[in-house]
Amino acid sequence: MHRKILGLESATGPKILALGFFWSAFCAPKKTDQAKRSIFERYFLELGNMEIFDYDNILLLPRKCRVESRSECDAGVELGGRKFRLPVVPANMKTVVDENICLWMAQNNYFYVMHRFDLDNVQFVKDMHAKGVYASISLGVKAPDRETVDTWAAAGLTPEYITIDIAHGHADSVRDMIAYIKAKLPKSFVIAGNVATPEAVIDLENWGADATKVGVGPGKVCITKLKTGFGTGGWQLSALKWCARVATKPIIADGGIRSHGDIAKSIRFGASMVMIGSLFAGHEESPGKTVEVNGELFKEYYGSASDFNKGEYKHVEGKRILEPVKGKLANTLIEMEQDVQSSISYAGGTKLMDVRKVNYVILGGDNAGEHLLM
């Protein structure tokens, strides 16, 4: 009889253990801790039956429509006590968002996360609050980031959202930064990432994160998998499904989105919000440099771990590309909202989370077939 096996890393080298042994010997919670037991049971069930796929390999299956018009469907989502028009957020990258874009998005009920590069974070929060909108900011995990938190606290400033944004977010440094923010600014909603595994999601939630950001290297300008051999590039949607199985708090799916339909697929497999870079880069308002090639206008778009962003070629995991200028950001957001509304109607629903109730098919490969509410 074939048994599922699992690789285990230890001080004496990798081991191959049967899943049942691994569960019973190391991870089975006490029977009295039912919530924790349920999380781990889902984790190991998923490990034993894991399917590998990405956005291009999945199609969602329609259900009977319940609305007269797609415009009746509510594409909004709640995060951190606020309702936003769409479950999308532009990537917190220098060539995707700036102060003006963030202000416009806040004023129009969209979620944003300002990047953390070459920015006066303290002044940014002051300015956003002075204009009557929420502040959503990014931080790293180093001493200057802790000093920023100290300055906010001393000035009586509380950013409504703080995203701890590093490439490998399953780290002791992130654990310590979450604790530092929670001690100084307990009312801030803390998003932490980026991560790629259920173990990481469990840890970040236990460390106090209010939401986790899932995705390591699947973005269009990310080359993590080529440079390091690690990441979720090529299987981001499957990784999202895997992580969502153990999550008890919101997940932001970060990277790998190439079309508007991928938003609905992300929601179906457990995301509450979807972070998107390339589809938001290249607008007239985008801060990337405008470049003309053979009479056509493009916007510069580069990864946060690229030498273009770092200013030096050191630990580079990103690249630079040119995105065709797409027009106005507002028009793209309207089209996205209409497309998500259409997705909801195809799901037989009236609100965003109804998309999670649909079945799906995997196209091609060993996992091909129809899957019923899995």
Greatest Cα pair distance in the chain: 68
∠ at Cα 171 (170, 172), nearest 5°? 140
Q: Which of 73, 102, 222, 243 is catalytic?
A: 222
User: Rounded to an integer, what distance in angstroms lies between the CA atom of residue 112 and that of residue 100?
Assistant: 11
User: Rounded to an integer, what distance in angstroms lies between the CA atom of residue 341 and that of residue 359?
Assistant: 18
Note if the pTM is more than 0.95. Answer: no
In this structure, are residues 201 and 232 in contact, taking their beta carbons and an 8 Å threshold?
no
Pairing relation of β-strands 369-371 and 360-362? antiparallel
Whether the per-residue pLDDT at 369 is higher than 70: the answer is no
Is 222 in the active site? yes
Give residue-wise pLDDT tens across range 211-220: 999 999 887 7
Rounded to the nearest 10 degrees, how much is the dihedral formed by the CA atoms of 240, 242, 245, 247? -60
User: Rounded to an integer, what distance in angstroms lies between the CA atom of residue 320 and that of residue 313?
Assistant: 13
**Cα–Cα nearest to 358, from 369, 368, 343:** 343
Give residue-wise pLDDT tens across range 48-103: 567 899 999 999 999 999 999 999 999 999 999 999 999 999 999 888 999 999 99
**Cα–Cα nearest to 53, from 242, 295, 316:** 242
